[in-house]
Each structure stands twice: as structure tokens, then as C-alpha cells.
Amino acid sequence: MTKNSWAKILVIAALALSVAAYFVFPAYKNFIDMTLSAFASGDFQAMRDFIADYGVYAAAISFFLMIFQSVAAPLPAFIITLANANLFGWLKGAALSWSSAMAGAALCFYIAKILGRDVAEKLTSKAGLDSIDKFFERYGTHSILIARLLPFISFDLVSYAAGLTSMKFWPFFIATGVGQLPATLVYSYVGGMLTGGAQLLMTGLLILFALSALVVMLRKIYRERNK
């Protein structure tokens, strides 16, 4: 059996065990349900409180949440980034958010690389991956760096799509790290100062920006398909 075959078996087994554990272990099921509820709220304060409840393990829980949202695209990562900054301070929060996002990107890259497009489409969406494929075709070797610098392009979709190409891991990983750093620092700096009305304003602006970006992307995909 080849090395790639073993890798595929291990990844499939890990994913299967993660799903099976949800139905077997009540504590794990409760944790995942609470996690999804925190993401669904769209409120970074709710996410902050959820992470803070784990005390000395809060940083580890935050790290896991960032990886979880990477695999289960397209859950919003910026909520965790804002929560980290508000909970740990903007500098430590930025370091935690950046490093955990990098780990999530690497995992998505290898899941796609090992398991192929069918699995990547199930974890994301066919239309989303198709749109990133066209982005890669347009911008060539600089696609990853450009995509990471543009906040309206899904971080996780880019990671999965990159894994489906012939791109090597280290060029992908370095471009991701460099491109992701500015957005992480900005979100963290802002997140560290958010309270009260400023919190509501920032959350509203982020939601509005995300919806606007989604409309623009869908419109672009629609026009290109018609052509």
C-alpha cells in the first residue's frame, strides 16, 4: 500500500471518528452544539464568553475553534479573532488567531490534497470552489497572496482549492502567512477596543461588508457562467 493510500485512510478515519463521537459522547456533542451556537450568534462577545468559560484552557479551546471553523467552512473566523483580542489583549490575541488560522489552512490544504475534490466540495461547496478555481486561473502564481489580502474571499475555500492544484505546501503556507497577517493585526487591534456601542457598530459593519462581498461574488459568477 502506498504512502498516499495510508494518508487517505488516516484522514478518512479521523473525520469519521470525529462525526461518530458526536453521537456517542454527550459531553462532546454538547461542546459542538455550543460551538455552533456561538458561531450562529454572529456576536463576538458570545464567542468571547464561550472561550473564557474554559479558564486556563481558553487559548487551547480558541485554537481548536479556529481549526474547526476552517474545516467546517464557511463559519466566520473573524468572530474568533475579535474574541481573542478582547480576551487576551490585541497582541497575544493576534498571535493566537494567526497561528491557529495557519494550522487550519494547512489542514484544509492536506484534506483536499489527500482526499480529492469530491470531499472538498462536500465540506465547502462546488460553486465556491469553482469560483476560486477561476480566481487562480486569472492571477496565476500570486493567487494565494492576493486572495489572503482580500478579506471578501473565503479563507477556507482558498485553502481547499489550493490543495486541489499542483501547488506545493510551503509556497502556499508562506503566502498564506504573509497575506493573512495584516488582516489579523487589524481585526485584533480593533477587537481589543470593542465595547458597548462600538461592538455593535463593528459587528454590523462586518456583517454588511460580508453580505456586500457575497452579492458581488455571486453576481460575478452569474455573469461569467452566462458568458
pLDDT in tens, 174-201: 999 998 988 888 788 777 776 555 555 5
- Using CA atoms, how far apart are residues 79 and 48, in angstroms rounded to an integer? 9
Q: What is the pLDDT confidence band of residue 219, given thresholds at 50, 70 and 90?
A: low
Given a cut of 80, is residue 9 above it in pLDDT?
Answer: yes
The string of pLDDT tens digits covering residues 140-173 is 778 898 888 776 778 899 999 999 998 999 999 9
Contact indicator for 189, 84 with CB cutoff of 8 Å: no
Flag whether pLDDT at 115 surpasses 60: yes
Mean of pLDDT values over 4-8: 80
Top-confidence residue, 107 or 218: 107
Residue 183 has what pLDDT?
83
Q: Concatenated DSSP letters for the chain?
A: --HHHHHHHHHHHHHHHHHHHHHH-HHHHHHHHHHHHHHHHT-HHHHHHHHHTTGGGHHHHHHHHHHHHHHTTTS-SHHHHHHHHHHH-HHHHHHHHHHHHHHHHHHHHHHHHHH-HHHHHHHS-HHHHHHHHHHHHHHGGGHHHHHHH-TTS-HHHHHHHHHTSS--HHHHHHHHHHHHHHHHHHHHHHHTT--HHHHHHHHHHHHHHHHHHHHHHHHHHHHHHH-
pLDDT for position 31: 92
Inform me whether the pLDDT recorded for 204 exceeds 70: no
* 225, burial (CB in 10 Å: exposed 0-12, middle 13-18, buried 19+): exposed
